[in-house]
Amino acid sequence: MDARDAELKKELNATLQARRELGEEYESALVDSFLEKVDQRIDGAVERRVRRQFAEQQMVAARDGRSPGATDSWGERFGFGIVSLVLAVPLSAIGVGAADLPGLLVSWAGIVGVNVVQAARTQPGLFGGLRRRPTGDGDWKA
């Protein structure tokens, strides 16, 4: 039990004690007062969660602003390569079974294409050197 729970428990005990001392005619006001405190506590917890999630989203957005290679790990690239090779076997069999050599060539073209796209995503400068981007004044910068 954290401090906020202990505080809320004290408030509940105080409300119950006040109800015993003041009688039933004050019960509604006491309950309303206690529920207001519970509402404030819930609002505070929700606000903290929303702020935390917003901060996490800002961190993710800031990371996305960097080059993808900076956030992708070597393990992710290695795993993608392994999965591609493992899936190449059944895809090749399906291609050969469906259309012989042309089917095999199409399936391998797809495998290579997916890997090229993944490589370009994780290492932007890999194909064609540095990417050019607009400078804002109509020119392009490498």
pLDDT one-digit tens code per residue, 13-63: 998 898 888 888 888 888 888 888 888 888 888 899 999 998 988 888 887
* pTM of the full structure: 0.41
Q: Do 122 and 82 fall into the same domain?
A: yes
What per-residue confidence (pLDDT) applies to 27? 86
116 and 136 part of one domain: yes
Domain that holds residue 100: 68-141
Instruction: Answer with the one of 23, 42, 65 that is the final residue of a domain.
Output: 65
Of 35, 65, 95, the last residue of a domain is 65
- 50 and 78 housed in the same domain: no
- Residue 61 shares a structural domain with residue 75: no
- 80, amino acid identity: F
136 φ/ψ angles, rounded to the nearest 5 degrees:
105, -20
Q: State the chain's mean pLDDT as an integer.
A: 81
Amino acid at 69: G
Instruction: Give the pLDDT score at 68.
Output: 47
**Do residues 76 and 133 both lie within one domain?**
yes
Reply yes or no on whether the pLDDT at 138 is more than 60.
no
DSSP string, the chain: --HHHHHHHHHHHHHHHHHHHH-GGGHHHHHHHHHHHHHHHHHHHHHHHHHHHHHHHHHHHHHHHS-HHHHS-HHHHHHHHHHHHHHHHHHHHHHHHHHHHHHHHHHHHHHHHHHHHHHHHH-TTTTTSSPPEE-SSS-EE-
Report the C-alpha gap between 55 and 51 in whole angstroms. Answer: 6
* 10 and 53 together in one domain: yes
Please, which pLDDT band fits residue 108 given cuts at 50, 70 and 90? Answer: very high
**72 plus 137 within the same structural domain:** yes
Are 107 and 122 within one domain?
A: yes
Give yes or no: residues 9 and 54 share one domain. Answer: yes
What local confidence, expressed as pLDDT, does residue 69 receive?
46
Q: What one-letter code names the amino acid at 99?
A: A
Which amino acid, residue 119? A
Range of lowest pLDDT (19-28, 38-47, 100-109, 133-142) = 133-142
Mean pLDDT of 93-115: 91
Partnered with residue 6 across adjacent β-strands are none
